[in-house]
Amino acid sequence: MDIHGSDLQVEVAAVAARLVVDEGLDYGGAKRQAVKLLGLGPRTPLPSAAVMDAAVREHIAIFCGDTQPVELLALRELALVWLDRLAEFTPFVGGAVWHGTATRHSDVYIQLFCEDPKVAEWRLIDRGVDYLVSTVHGWKGEPVDALSLRVRCEPLAQWVQVHLMVYDRDDVRGALKPDAQGRKPRGDAQALRGMLVAGGSESI
């Protein structure tokens, strides 16, 4: 049976959600991979962020409702360590760790705001932290430097990728502008610490 319109988008979202939760893909990559796995064409209408978010939360509730809260807590605690360590750069945590959909397969995404982007690298070098530099798309679509670290997460007994996206200091003014779903797209150490005090598995 052919699936069209919103039904097709829901079908793509369901497959993409599995890739997000089980393999740690980002929404964009998961949607593209889902289209290929379903044998659909390149012009297939893709699900919105809201549809994807609903599908991810449904997948978590069905398949890993017992384990995901513990994994999310561990990743939020790890993120908080780095928010505190890099406090001079007004850091914010975003992505699945902030929104409450992270699992052990998720990476940690932190935004830094610097007068000079090289200063963040110097701080890592001072601490003896190894990192890789790449260029990624920022929240406005602009290219930004990403410093990627491999960090041990003892509660999960595994290594986790922590990505530090380096923005200009002036960009901090738009950091908390609500997203298309009216949610805060990221939060600072105080906000994340409040979640941990409240139980650690809250969703945004």
pLDDT reported for residue 6: 79
Q: How many Cα atoms sit within 13 Å of 26 on the Cβ side?
A: 9
Query: Crossing angle of helices 189-198/68-85, nearest 10°?
Result: 150
147 pairs with which residues across the strands?
A: 133, 164
Question: Can you tell me the distance from the alpha carbon of 177 to that of 109, in angstroms, rounded to the nearest whole number?
Answer: 17
Where do the CATH 3.30.460 domains begin and end in the chain? 68-198
Specify the pLDDT at position 102.
Answer: 96
**Secondary-structure class of domain 68-198 per CATH:** alpha beta
Task: Single out the residue of 46, 59, 61 nearest to residue 14, CA to CA.
Answer: 59
pLDDT at 128: 95
Instruction: Identify the helix (H) or strand (E) that includes residue 112.
Output: strand 108-114
pTM: 0.90
- Residue ranges of the chain with pLDDT lower than 70? 1-5, 200-204
- Candidates 135, 122, 134, 120; CA nearest to 86 is 120
pLDDT at 67: 96
Q: In Å, how far from its chain's centre is CA 81?
A: 16
